[in-house]
Amino acid sequence: MKLQEESQGMTIQVLIIISIKMTKDFKRPDGRKVEELRPIKAKVGVVPNADGSAMFQFGDTIAIAAVYGPKEHHPRNQRDPEKGTLRCNYNMLSFSVTDRIRPGPSRRSTEISKITQWALEPVLMVEQFSNMVIDVHIDIIQADASTRCAGINAAALALAHAGIPMRNLVSSVSIGKLDKQLVVDVSKYEEDWEEGEGATDIPISMTPDGEMTHIQLDGMINNEELIEAVKLARKATKQIYEIQKKALKEAIN
Partner 1 sequence: MTGDRIKQYLSHGKRFDARLPDEFRDIVIETNVSNKAEGSVRVKLGKTEVVVGIKMNVSEPYPDSPNKGNLMVTAELLPLSSPRFESGPPKFEAIELGRLVDRVVRESKLIDVEKLCIKEGEKVWTIFIDVYSINDDGNLLDAAAIGALAALKNAKMTKYDDKEGKVLFGEVTNQNVPLAKHLPFSITLYKVGDNFLVDPTREEEDVSETKINIGRSAKGIHSMQKGGVAPVSPEEFKKGLEMSEKVYNDILKKVEKYLK
What residues line the site for partner 1 (CB under 8 A)?
47-50, 53, 60, 62, 64-66, 68, 71, 89, 91, 93-100, 103-105, 135, 137-139, 141-144
Q: Please identify, using beta-carbon distances, which residue of 90 and 241 lies nearer to partner 1.
A: 90
- Nearest distance from C-beta of residue 118 to partner 1, angstroms: 18
Q: Please identify, using beta-carbon distances, which residue of 84 and 208 lies nearer to partner 1.
A: 84
- Nearest distance from C-beta of residue 216 to partner 1, angstroms: 22
Q: Please identify, using beta-carbon distances, which residue of 40 and 64 lies nearer to partner 1.
A: 64
Dump the DSSP string for 141-167: EE-SS-HHHHHHHHHHHHHHHTT--BS
* Local structure of residue 94 (DSSP, 8 states): T
- What amino acid occupies position 37? L
Q: Please identify, using beta-carbon distances, which residue of 22 and 97 lies nearer to partner 1.
A: 97
- Nearest distance from C-beta of residue 32 to partner 1, angstroms: 19
Under a CB-based contact definition with an 8 Å cutoff, are residues 153 and 42 in contact? yes
- Nearest distance from C-beta of residue 86 to partner 1, angstroms: 14
CA distance 107 to 213: 22
- Nearest distance from C-beta of residue 170 to partner 1, angstroms: 19
Q: Please identify, using beta-carbon distances, which residue of 65 and 152 lies nearer to partner 1.
A: 65
* Local structure of residue 192 (DSSP, 8 states): T
Rg (CA), the chain: 20
Dump the DSSP string for 194-224: -STT-EEEEEEEE-TT--EEEE--BS---HH
